[in-house]
Structure formats: structure tokens, C-alpha cells
Amino acid sequence: MEKEVIDKYRKAGRIAGEARELALRKTRPGVKLLDIAEEVKAYIIRKGAQPAFPLNVSVNDIAAHYTPTYNDERVIGKDDLVKLDVGAHVDGYIGDTAATWSARPHDLVKAVERVLKDAIKILKPGTRVGEIGTTIQESADAQGVGLISNLTGHGLDRYVFHGEPSIMNTRNDSGHVLKEGDVIAIEPFTCPTNGFVKESGTTEIYRFLQRRPVRLPEARKILDIAENKYHSLPFAKRWLYKEVSPIKVSLAMRQLEGVMALEPYPVLREVSGKPIAQAEHTIIIQDKPIVTTMIGE
């Protein structure tokens, strides 16, 4: 990998990591989810990167894809388990990282951080993707916690935030071999016993999929923004309100979703309501792997 590209991955990773720490500090009982999300976005831009996706601030049994609506009044509760998943990019090179906030030390949080550490330790050119899932499973088993089996880590590429390979978080025999220069995100999710997520509730996150003819001028404008401003990376519906008349946004989004011009990211919730913790880092694979999103550890 060229040094210039590595430097961009490092910068994006550092800013995403700092934004994650900022989100952890801001999160406390009574604070609005919307305020945390907006502060994280502003921080990323101030530091010279762009959001690679909206802050996911997913509480308790919500695993992922919750980002606040433009007028979201929801606040953090004192017993909440809050997953903060942050993405930043520099020229399309992405840092993707997550951590979980709880008011008091929490077993699931401790466990998921340990699982992530154990998985990162085995990464090098030649590691099989199946070994990663197996390591994650063994680490979770050893700590007596369960895993969410249908959420995965993933490869990263320029302007591609969920690329190949998909990295399963449970024991598996994938023979896909990591090579020098691959960039991957490892993101295990722990819960009290093994769990499973399904789509539920509303959608606030979308990304550009393909050009399609649409009648509504606002829909055409949103499609342009999705393709050119956000470079096909996920964005939040609330980010559109400055540029598109609020009463037209929902209508336009429905039209774009209907013709499959945009891909929706519905909120993902654990099927039986189990609380979930998450941890995530982005890693450049080389003989001495670089964890781009690690801050001062």
C-alpha cells in the first residue's frame, strides 16, 4: 500500500477514534442522543475529515443503525447500554470504530473489549477469516457471554464501507486469507446469551445505490446529494433538511427507496430484547498491523 494511502487511513482512523472518545465523554444520563450525534459530526469535520456514516447511537437491545431524527427528543437513561459507532473518512479512506457506554462498569462491555483485543492479536498477512470468528467465539465462551451471530465485521475500501470479506463473529471455516494491505473492521457484539438481530422500527440512514428516474424534483436533488456529496456512503435523513424542504424529504425518500435508488439501513434490534454491547476497530493488515482507530493504548 502506498504511504500516502496509509497516511489517509491513519488520519481518518485517528479522527474517528478521537470522535469515539468524545462521544463516550458526552454520553451521560439526561443528554439528548441528537446532541451527541451532532457534536461528533462537527468534530470530525473540524479535524479535517468527513463522516463516513452518521453516528450510530444504539441503546440497549438496539444493536445498530439508530441515528436520531432531526427533532429527536430521546435522552440517555441511567441504566442504558449505549453503543457509539463512529465513521470518518479522508478522501474516501475510512476509519470505523465503536465503543459502548454504561454508567457503571458492565460485564458485557468488559467482555466485548476483551473479545476485540483477542481477535486483533491474531491478525497478520495469512490469517484466515475463519480463525477470526473462532477466536471471537472462544474468547466470548471463556468469559461466559453470548454473541450476536448475524452481525459481522467487514473489509473497507476507498468509499466502500461494507466491503469484502465479511467477517463472521462466530466459529466458522471461511478459508478467505487476509493479505498485506487489506483494511478490515472487526466488530463483535456481546449479549448475555447468544442472540440474533432483526430489522425493526424506522429508517433514518440511507445510501446511494443507483441512478433511477424519479418525478419529484426534491427526489432528484437528494439522489444527487447522496451520490456526489456523500459519495455513496451512508448518510442521515436529518442531514438533508438544510438543503431540501422538510415537508418533501420523507415523500422523496419513499420514492427513492421504492425504485431502489437508495439503500435503507433499518434499525436492528435483538429479537428477544437482550441488551447488547459492541466494540470495533479498523486495522491495516501488514506484518506489524496498524490499528488506525486506537487512541493512546
64 binds Co ion (CB under 5 A): no
168 binds Co ion (CB under 5 A): no
118 binds Co ion (CB under 5 A): no
Order of strands across the sheet that contains 235-236: 62-64, 262-270, 197-208, 235-236
CB-wise, 189 or 208, nearer to Co ion?
A: 189
Longest Cα–Cα distance in the chain: 56
208 residue type, one letter: F
Can you tell me the distance from the alpha carbon of 144 to that of 70, in angstroms, rounded to the nearest whole number? 39
Question: Which segments within the chain are labelled E, that is strand?
Answer: 50-59, 62-64, 82-90, 93-101, 146-147, 152-157, 160-168, 183-186, 189-191, 197-208, 235-236, 262-270, 277-278, 281-284, 290-291
Does 204 qualify as catalytic in the annotation? no
Pick the piece of the chain touching Co ion (CB under 5 A) from 13-21, 62-70, 177-185, 261-269. Answer: 177-185
| Three-class secondary structure of residue 124 per DSSP | coil
CB-CB neighbours of 23 under 10 Å: 23
96 binds Co ion (CB under 5 A): yes
Q: How far is the CB of 186 from Co ion (least distance, A)?
A: 9
Does 38 qualify as catalytic in the annotation? no
CB-wise, 220 or 231, nearer to Co ion?
A: 231
Q: How far is the CB of 65 from Co ion (least distance, A)?
A: 11
Pick the piece of the chain touching Co ion (CB under 5 A) from 4-12, 65-73, 93-101, 256-264. Answer: 93-101
Parallel, antiparallel or unpaired: strands 62-64 and 290-291: unpaired
131 binds Co ion (CB under 5 A): no
CB-wise, 21 or 107, nearer to Co ion?
A: 21
185 binds Co ion (CB under 5 A): yes
Does 162 qualify as catalytic in the annotation? yes
Catalytic residue annotation:
85, 96, 154, 162, 187, 280
**Site for Co ion, rule CB under 5 A:** 96, 185, 187
